[in-house]
Chain A
């Protein structure tokens, strides 16, 4: 099955990013595909490479980058939501790209399931 994923909350403050990541891993382990993960609202903060958590904590941002590289997943950050929150191409982590909300709708159309993580 082909999945699209939407992440709507910021990392660390909220568990949604963690749950989405663990869900994505489980989906891939079961042999399904994820063609795109779309970051919206404060979820865009998952994409900044300026993130520097303490050493004994998980690095949510690099975790996404690694997953995307290993499984060719398109990590898309909403441009309007990103600019509002100071996320730009210059501080984008590996594997992420900034684009429009149309990418979310397209994901809904192309995927068999679109799963939303957030409040």
Chain B
């Protein structure tokens, strides 16, 4: 199995095709494993040279919150990994404005630069994708 491509030999079937992948993160970073395993998909997917965007909405906005301290719950703080996404050419990060505001947060409270989108525009973004993976 190939480490970087998660078990796929890059053959003619896959190479050359570029689709728009959107990863929708809706859950708090801890409490369930969805956020962490979503990030694992995003990192593997980066090897496929697809057009990748990430969306954070509902409690998913907490995934990007600054100042996460997880020692007392004995879980790894994986939030620094979001800062590394740039190095994987994943630069399109969107946060739903309403979700952020409802939780008393602003863009300054987040560990990475993001684009704030109102819910109506979020719908347009999703509509324009080929693949939407929701976590």
Q: Which of B6, B19, B45 gathers most chain A CB within 10 Å?
A: B6
Closest chain B residue to A76, Cβ basis:
B7
In the bound complex, what is the Cα–Cα distance between A109 and B14 (angstroms)?
7
Enumerate chain B residues within 8 angstroms of A80, measured Cβ to Cβ.
37, 40
Enumerate chain B residues within 8 angstroms of A61, measured Cβ to Cβ.
none
B13 sits at the interface (CB 8 A): yes
In the bound complex, what is the Cα–Cα distance between A103 and B47 (angstroms)?
12
**A101-112 interface mask toward B, CB cutoff 8 Å, 1 = contact, 0 = none?**
111111011100
Enumerate chain B residues within 8 angstroms of A79, measured Cβ to Cβ.
1, 7
A-side interface mostly:
helix
Q: Chain A, interface size: which category?
A: 20 to 34
- State which of B1, B19, B34, B50 has its C-beta within 8 Å of the C-beta of A100: B1
A3 sits at the interface (CB 8 A): no
Closest chain B residue to A111, Cβ basis:
B131
A41 sits at the interface (CB 8 A): yes
Residues of B participating in the A interface, judged by any CB pair closer than 8 Å: 1-2, 5-8, 13-14, 17, 19, 21, 33-34, 37, 40-41, 44-45, 47-48, 50, 130-135
Residues of A participating in the B interface, judged by any CB pair closer than 8 Å: 6, 8, 40-41, 79-81, 99-106, 108-110, 114, 116, 118-119
